[in-house]
Amino acid sequence: MRNVQRALENLQQEKHQKLALQRDLKEAQDKLAETTADLEAARKRWKKAASQLSQFQSQGGAGLYQVTDGDLINSAKQLRYDIRAFSVQYFLGKAPLGQLPGVDGGFSRYMRETINTTLKGYDDDDVAHLMSSETSGPVVIQAFLWRLLVGEIFEQFRWAASPPWLRKPMAAVYRALKPTAAPTPEASGERRFQMWKATTSALILESMESMEEEEEEEEQEQVQRSSESTAEKTSSFNCWSFSDRVLDIIRPFVRNDSDVEGILGNLCNIIESSIALDQEICRQMARVDWVFPPPPSSKDLLVSFNPDDMAVGVGETTPRPGQYVSVVMAPALKKRGKSTGEDFEIENLLLKMEVTCM
């Protein structure tokens, strides 16, 4: 009997052990199935993310703001036309002898650059005579205004007016990070930089829109804050004040300065158009450069006309081979890459320099 009872106890114990093993096996199978499902879900998420990343890389950020070559060319041509019309309206014809402003570290340096990089051999008196001639005034004014715009407006984020303190740090970071243009920037590095520029510009514009909406709501709810709002706005870019500083340089050569307000208004329109164009350029991904000829290696050397990247002004005859450039009236417009983020190893000339020859 003892042997039978011991055998039954062993069978019962084995039964319990088997049931326990079955429970353990069932739990392990359930955990394995759960882990397998998690792994499969993770694998699907990874494949989706990899596919999206691959698509984004192949499209080069196609969701970013797009600007076509035609849009850039038309905007630049319109700006050239506006500057030419302004220069002819106020600087064509005989004028009293003016005094060329001295180099004061301000905007007058752009007049000095216009003269020193093209009109070799002229001193201040010669320049004053040139500016006062019946036909040369508009040419020099166009060259001066374009150098001013390239130095003070383009790539300066003047459109980032809210909050007022944002523009200068943004411009400083942009200059510090911008890849060199010579001889050819590394394509992937250029592409990363331009992606940063475009996305950061988009974020700034979104922030500005949000702040404008909040300000409008606050002004509607609390009229008493309007004076404070006005004070905040005046601390941002002031086109009239900027135009007034420009007029200080060119006013000695204005043919009729009785319409000072009209001159300032036209200058302000040109500057605001330039700011709007710079905003369009900043929020898209391609690299856009305004290009003047490099300064000659010697002050005695002049820039020769090159039909590959130069064209004469409206109404001028085609220069002879070897003829020298006297004034670059407008810079060339070059573009590297596309707004979609592709082809950053390719640079295209969209507009030739506009020059006049001696």
In the chain, which ranges are E strands?
287-291, 310-312, 325-330, 332-336, 347-351, 353-357
Residue 185: pLDDT over 90: no
* Among 213, 177, 209, CA closest to 196: 177
Beta-strand pair 310-312/353-357: parallel
Tokens at 191, concatenated: 């592409």
Helix (H, G, I), strand (E, B) or coil at 337: coil
Tell me the average pLDDT across 60-64.
Answer: 58
Tell me: the pLDDT tens digits for 254-281?
887 778 889 999 999 999 999 999 999 9
Collect all residues with Cβ–Cβ distance below 8 Å to 72 and sequence separation of at least 6.
280, 281, 288, 333, 335, 350
Q: What is the pLDDT of residue 45?
A: 61
Collect all residues with Cβ–Cβ distance below 8 Å to 174 and sequence separation of at least 6.
155, 157, 197
Cα–Cα distance for residue pair 132/129, rounded to 1 Å: 5
Tell me: the pLDDT tens digits for 95-105?
665 555 544 55
Q: Mean pLDDT highest for which of 20-34, 176-190, 300-314?
A: 300-314
Tell me: the pLDDT tens digits for 132-147?
677 788 988 999 999 9
Fill in the DSSP letter of residue 224: G
Q: Are the CB atoms for 318 and 273 separated by under 8 Å?
A: no
Cα–Cα distance for residue pair 139/86, rounded to 1 Å: 11
Beta-bridge partner residues of 353: 310
Cα–Cα distance for residue pair 99/136, rounded to 1 Å: 16
- Residue predicted with more confidence, 244 or 16: 244
Q: Are the CB atoms for 302 and 324 separated by under 8 Å?
A: yes
The ranges assigned to domains in the chain are 66-160+239-357
Least confident of 11-20, 28-37, 155-164: 11-20
Cα–Cα distance for residue pair 164/295, rounded to 1 Å: 35
Q: What is the pLDDT of residue 144?
A: 93
